[in-house]
Amino acid sequence: MKLILASSSPRRAEILRHAGFSFEIRPTHVDESLRPGERPTDYVLRLAQAKSQAAAEDEIIFGEAAYVIGADTAVVVEGELLGKPAKTEDARRMLLRLRGKTHEVLTGLSILAIPEGKRVDHVETTRVTFLNISDQQVEEYISSGEPFDKAGAYGIQGIGGRFVERIEGCYFNVMGLPVSRLWGFLRGLGWSEPEISYLP
C-alpha cells in the first residue's frame, strides 16, 4: 500500500530511502508558531499531526488508500525549545546554549492510515551531549552554512557530528525520523510491506 512522507526534509527522505522504504513525498505547509505555554512535546506532536492530516486530505480527494507519515523535530535545552535558526545570530545563540551540555531531541511522529482513519501518535526523545566547543569552533561551523535548516542549528550526520560526545536513544531521531519506531507502528497499523528496495 502507498506510503507518503508529509515532509520536504531531505534527511527524512534519506533515512526512509536507506532503510529500504518505497514512498512518495507530499510536502505540507503548516503554521509552526509556538503557542503560548505550549510544552515542547505537545508542540512537535501537534505539528506532526497537522502535517499528516494535510497530506491525508489530498489523498482522500483522489480516493487513494495510503499510510501518511507526519514528523516534526525540535531541540530542547534546559527547558528552552530551539527550532531552526533564521539568521547567523540565532545559530550562534543556539550553539552557545548547547555546548558542554546535554539536550533532548524530540520528534513528533503521526501516522495516519486512510481511508480507515486509524492513527498512531508518538513523541520520540533522544538525549545528546555536546562537547564544550570553543567560540572559534562555533564561528567556523556557522561559516560552513550547515546549521541553517536544522533544529538546534546542527546536523549530527554532518560536520556537527564532531561536536557530539554521546547520545542516549535513537540516532536517526536526531536526524529527524525514528525509523525503527516508525516501522513498528506501520506494521501495527496493518501496513503491508512490499519487497524491500535496496540502494545500489
Catalytic residues: 72
Alpha helices in the chain (DSSP H): 10-18, 40-62, 88-98, 135-144, 171-175, 179-188
- 56-87 in b/e form (b: 16+ CB < 10 A) is beebeeeeeebbbbbbbbbbbbeeebbbbbee
From CA 102, how far away is CA 115, in angstroms rounded? 42
Closest CA to 146 of 88, 79, 80, 63: 88
CA distance 54 to 31: 12
User: Considering only CA atoms, which of 152, 114, 106 is closest in space to residue 6?
Assistant: 114
